[in-house]
Amino acid sequence: MPGFLLHVGATVLCSHGGQAQPATPVPRVLVSGQPVVTIASPYLVAGCAMPPPPAGNGPCVTGQFVTAALRVTALGQPVLLQDSQSVCAPTGTPLMPVAMQTRVMGS
């Protein structure tokens, strides 16, 4: 399904409100002047509100996207789209892209 490409400036949150940032964006491909992010890049999460055991199984520390664009790549890796699916560790909850550039779409 088509969606807008994610870049470094996109706002991505864990399910508990923690801010997530890509660890390894692709600096050679820019969208709106910022590097794009591919499926190969893990996300680092800060500020997750999920409590640690025994009250919960958090907080979220990292996130990894498991789906990405089928037809658009950067340096041979599929780029992330606004509807790409992900999972956080250790909670198993998803990352949620909530704000991103709205000029370039992929599928």
Q: All domains of the chain, ordered by start, with CATH?
A: 3-101 (2.60.200)
pLDDT tens sequence for the chain (107 residues): 789 999 999 999 999 999 999 999 999 999 999 999 999 999 999 999 999 988 888 899 999 999 999 999 999 999 999 999 999 999 999 999 999 999 999 99
Task: Point out which residues pair with 88 in neighbouring strands.
Answer: 63
Closest CA to 7 of 44, 27, 37: 37
Q: Which residues contact 73 (CB under 8 A, 6 or more apart)?
A: 38, 79
Predicted structure pTM score: 0.94
